[in-house]
Amino acid sequence: MLKRTLVGLIRSHETTGEKAKDPALKTRYYKISMDQAWDEIINMFKKLSGYKLLHEVRSVGEIVVERKTITGRTQDITLTLFSITPVKTAVDIYSASRGSLGDLGANYRTILDIYKHIDKRLAAYKINE
């Protein structure tokens, strides 16, 4: 966690992906159709305090939300859903803080928080890769 904070002194964004070195930042997979995953995640954000749903573009699988940090900075978060097969969906997250200073690891923690909520909501469908 200290390394994350040190990296966060200069970096103000974080992203997940297939090749992420940190296992916590690896793409998540769910055995559920993209439409079902989409509806579940949209409904989750509507109920999740601290997050504001800005816009959603189902055709490209993009959900954009905003979050205010404890320090009052705004994070712009983009979730991308990919339909791997008709019954398998991948979820990636990109989070960036507005402003020029680093985020002290806030975007990293936000991504872990969102994945935690999605994993809980889609627990029955999570695929451990």
Where along the chain do its domains lie? 2-127
Q: What is the rounded CA–CA span in Å between residue 35 and residue 97?
A: 29
Which residues have a Cβ under 8 Å from the Cβ of 125 and sit 6 or more positions away? 30, 31, 32, 37
The CATH number of domain 2-127 is 3.90.79.10: no
Say if residue 9's pLDDT is above 80: no
Confidence of residue 102 (pLDDT cuts 50, 70, 90): confident
Q: What percent of the chain has pLDDT over 90?
A: 78
- The secondary structure element, H or E, covering residue 92 is strand 88-97
Average pLDDT score over residue span 49-67? 96
**pTM (two decimals):** 0.91
